[in-house]
Amino acid sequence: MLAEMRPSELGMWEALWAIDPWGGQRADVGHAMVASTVAKGLLKKTGGGNFKLSDFMAYYEAPPLDPDALSMKIKASFGK
């Protein structure tokens, strides 16, 4: 038996994906982990400091730090 998904549940998953995508479109995170591990072992960063995952990603947007801001963003995606 197949489970049915309500339109509101689909909207919730779409909103979550819009904020923090997963799947093949974010496979670069896994590749960035490998690249940063290798770089930390073999290279020195110009100007000092450590390598970050974002140094090895084609695009990167830092997640919001404020949980209230995240909650407002989710509610806005639902039109509330």
Average pLDDT by stretches of 10, the chain with 80 residues: 81 85 76 89 80 81 72 80
Helix axes 67-77, 7-19, angle to 10 degrees: 130
Residue 19's nearest CA partner among 72, 65, 70, 78 is 70
DSSP 3: P
* Element spanning 38, H or E: helix 28-42
pTM: 0.46
Across the chain, which distance is largest between two alpha carbons, in Å? 59
- pLDDT score of 34: 92
Coil, strand or helix: which one is 77? helix
